[in-house]
Structure 1
Amino acid sequence: MTGRRLWFVVPEGIDDPARVSGGNVFDARVAEGLRRLGWDVRWVVAGPDAASRAALGRVPTGGLVLVDGLVARGAVAALAAAAGRLRLAVLVHMVTAAFDDADPAELENERRMLASVNLVVATSAWTRDELVSRALVAPDRVVVATPGSDAAPLSIGTATGGSLLCVGVVAPHKGQDLLVDALAALGPGWTCTIAGSVAADPGFVRRIAAHAAEAGLAERITWAGVVHGRALDALYARADLLVAPSRTESYGMAVGDALRRGIPVVATRVGGIPEAVQPGRAAILVPPDRPAALGDALRRWMADPALRADLTARARDEGPRRRGWIETAGAVDRALRSLP
């Protein structure tokens, strides 16, 4: 076996623009960074347990395998079967047990999956701490590789500060319903683009879109769907403020992407978001699941030009110095090299 060869098991559709996600972006950027650091990274696209078992079966004995957590949760038996033959690491983007409505079967799959691997790579310190505090992983088996962000030009924004942007799959844990509640009480002077897949929970999407229409906001909220590449860059370029109203969030890659572009953030103080906004001089954090608190923060932003100017100046100052993806890949590189 080549000393620095890595089999990276990723979800089906990882290259599909219609299925873009933070996890897929993370995987792609880490793979690219590891190649730059001298690794021979071999993509293994796998789905359900049987497909994963077949894919892992083609890796030579002693091979080093990094498995995306989304695949790993559906491939518990395959990982258990390969555990004695391969060196296994899993990349954990989110802790299932952190969701209040988590399915007991999924919780058990998570526990069994984590027990089968030699190393866990968590995408935030919060994720690591959740895994350890819930006794899912021993502290010496988990390392942190915080997401980076791509270099990008600073946002142009608008003169009024009223161009709001929310990026992420439209689903209850992302809290877009809380955002609509807050916007309904905000007053004039703003528009909001909500960018992200609407396929995860169509019922949730229908409910909040109906609420927005009933509140008279339909013409001020744009549901952009899945956006990537230059189209996503264009949304960031004209945004004044990123809003991240999540109920559960392991890190918040959109937060880092916005700050990299000099865009301030209003977000909930939940999960890994406090890490994502560090050093925090360009962000307003509010309690989670509190639309009134979110609305108050947005009103402050809209009503106070000095506040907008100060937060924007801080974001523009910090943006070029934020962590890049090569640093993320470096953390994964060191973790993988630690495996015997």
Structure 2
Amino acid sequence: MSVQAAFAIPGDLDTVTGGYLYEKRLLLGLREIGVDTAYVPLTGSFPDPSEAEADAAVAALLQVDPRHPLILDGFVFGAMPTAALARVRAPIVGVVHHPLAHEEGLTPERREYLFTNERDNLRLAAAVLVPSPHTARILIDEYGADPGAITVARPGTDPARGVRRVSEPPLILSVGIQHPRKGHDVLLRALARVTDLDWRAEIVGTPWDQQFSASLPALRDDLELADRVRIAGGIGNDELDALWSQASLFALATRYEGYGLVFDEALAWGVPIVSCRTGAVPETVPTGAGVLVPPADPEAFAAALRSVLADREDRERMTRAARAAGAALPSWLDTARTAEQVLEAVTRRSPTPRSAFIDFEVPKPEH
């Protein structure tokens, strides 16, 4: 059947986070497989909109034909006040990367507000897209969501854009925004415990939490790692591809992930992984391709780094496992086709669609 939909996303669609990448590629993928999908840009204030900003967002959403599915970005779906979201006439397909109340650094009051708000918003949704079975279980078990309304649309993966030529000394690569949840502080403390081994490290990621970002160089210097660790910040795709091609090991000491697109990127490049047994990570990192330890434990993380760095044969075995797993990963068009099935089901429950969309230009993804 012919399907039309709209996709509302706040802020800059080119923001370098896993959530934005997922939504941008889903939007473009839906269009590529023939789903007429309008892009509705919203203010970048989410997930903490003012009352005026929430009203402005609702006004934009009310322009969407009420007989077409409206896909809502996770920040908007989770943080939009329930009374405001209830005014939207189009059937809502919420995207939940991970529940907002599970973020790091929230006050108890803010956590409770986000939990209650997202729980109530889930009851307004005709369907919900999540990136992992882990997130689906949270929504069902903790938020009381209808299991029949939730679909796992696993993120797609691009093939590696280059040939892997591992460098010497071994390069430890970490990629993730500079936010407490990503655990770069834990990684630095772990690296300080393995300085007797030969390695260098690159920490790549856009500054996100300014206070945390400012603390990382000071911590690195206090740990006497300045000559071995570069905190690169945000870099271009070509430079990042060059680092992936040289990496011996991918290390992310994350405190929580609702999925973790970067793990799939590591697998696509055939790079062994050291990370943490938290959130969706155990479901995302295949057995044999990585070593997982408890989160927020520098000593355990250091032991995992040491085991992979010190045993070349084991590292090569993990490399082969990662490469095999990467070759089997779904594409972004696979993700779009999963979402298309959800949109078709929602559309069948609505009156016959008609064309009445506003639309906006969407930038093409960088390769």
Q: TM-score, normalised by structure 2?
A: 0.85
Q: Does 1:329 align with 2:321?
A: no
Which whole-Å CA distance do the structure 1 matches of 2:12 and 2:167 have between them?
Answer: 39
Q: Counterparts in 2 of 1:53-64, with a 5 A limit?
A: 53-64=58-69
Determine helix, strand or coil for the equivalent of 1:140.
helix
- Alignment-mate amino acid for residue 205 of structure 2: G
Using the alignment, how far apart are the partners of 2:74 and 2:323 within structure 1?
34
State the Cα deviation string for residues 206-234 of structure 1 (Å, max 9, x = none): 33321210111012111111234223222
Q: Given the alignment, which residue of 201, 212, 216 partners 2:220?
A: 212
Flag the structure with more relative contact order, 1 or 2, with Cα contacts below 8 A and sequence separation at least 6: 2
Residue 17 of structure 2, aligned match among 10, 16, 21: 21
Shift in alpha-carbon separation, 1:20–1:281, aligned structure 2, 3 A: same
2:7 equivalent in structure 1: 8
- Residues 4 and 37 of structure 2 are in contact (CA less than 8 Å); yes or no, is this contact kept in structure 1? yes
Structure 2 residues without counterparts, runs of 5 or longer? 44-52, 350-367
Aligned partner of 1:39 among 28, 35, 58: 35
Shift, 1:317, TM fit: 3.1
Report if the CA contact (8 A) 1:73-1:109 is conserved: yes
Write the letter of the residue equivalent to 2:154. T
- Asked whether the 8 Å contact 1:155–1:263 carries over to 2, the reply is no
Distance, in Å, in 1 between the alignment partners of 2:275 and 2:337 is 28
Give the corresponding residue for 2:117. Answer: 109
Tell me which of 184, 187, 195 is aligned to 2:204: 195
Q: Give the 3-state SS of the residue equivalent to 1:284 in structure 2.
A: strand
Which is further off, 166-175 or 219-228?
A: 219-228
Shift of 1:100: 6.3
Q: How does 1:179-194 map to 2 (within 5 A)?
A: 179-187=187-195, 188-194=197-203
> Equivalent residue for 1:148?
156
For residues 169-184 of structure 1, the aligned pairs below 5 Å read 169-184=177-192
My pick for the range that moved more, 203-212 or 252-261, is 203-212
User: 1:70 — aligned with what?
Assistant: 75
Equivalent of 1:97 in 96, 101, 112: 101
For residues 22 and 145 of structure 1, the distance between their equivalents in structure 2, rounded to whole angstroms, comes to 14
**1:30 is the counterpart of 2:26:** yes
* C-alpha contact 1:195 1:226 (8 A) present in aligned 2: yes
Q: Distance in 1 between matches of 2:79 and 2:139?
A: 18
The whole-number CA distance in structure 2 between the counterparts of 1:218 and 1:159 is 19
Q: Deviations over 1:42-83 (max 9, x none)?
A: 10001231221111111122221001111223433432111x
Q: Which residue of 2 aligns with 1:265?
A: 273
Amino acid at match of 1:53: V
- Counterpart for residue 235 of structure 1: 243
Tell me, yes or no, if the aligned pair for 2:10 and 2:73 is still in contact at 8 Å: yes
Displacement of 1:235 in angstroms is 2.1
Q: Indicate if the aligned counterparts of 2:161 and 2:241 stay in contact, CA closer than 8 A.
A: no
Query: Structure 1 residue runs of 4+, over 6 Å off?
Result: none
- The question of whether the paired residues in 1 share the 8 Å contact of 2:164 and 2:269 is answered with no
Describe how 1:291-302 pairs up with structure 2 within 5 A.
Answer: 291-302=298-309
Which secondary structure does the structure 2 equivalent of 1:263 belong to? Answer: coil
Is the counterpart of residue 289 in structure 1 residue 289 in structure 2? no
**Cα distance, 1:132 vs structure 2:** 0.6
> Which residue does the alignment assign to 2:361?
none
Contact 1:154 1:316 in 2 (8 A): no
> Using the alignment, how far apart are the partners of 1:149 and 1:165 within structure 2?
19
Q: TM-score, normalising length from structure 1?
A: 0.92
Number of matched residues? 332
The alpha carbon displacement at 1:105 in A equals: 2.4
Question: What is the Cα deviation at residue 142 of structure 1?
Answer: 1.0
Q: Please state whether the residue corresponding to 1:338 is helix, strand or coil.
A: helix
Which amino acid letter does the alignment assign opposite residue 330 of structure 1? Answer: R
Q: Provide the rounded CA distance (Å) in 1 between the counterparts of 2:213 and 2:332.
A: 32
Helix, strand or coil: the match of 1:217? coil
Alignment RMSD: 1.8
CA deviations 1:110-155 (Å, max 9, x no partner) are: 2232222111111111000011110341211111111111112465
SS in structure 1 of the partner of residue 166 of structure 2:
coil
Q: Rate the CA distance shift 1:71–1:291 in 2: closer, same or farther, 3 A.
A: same
Q: CA deviation at 1:244?
A: 1.6
- Percentage identity across aligned positions? 32
* Residue from 137, 143, 147 that aligns with 1:139: 147
Q: Secondary structure at the match of 2:247?
A: coil
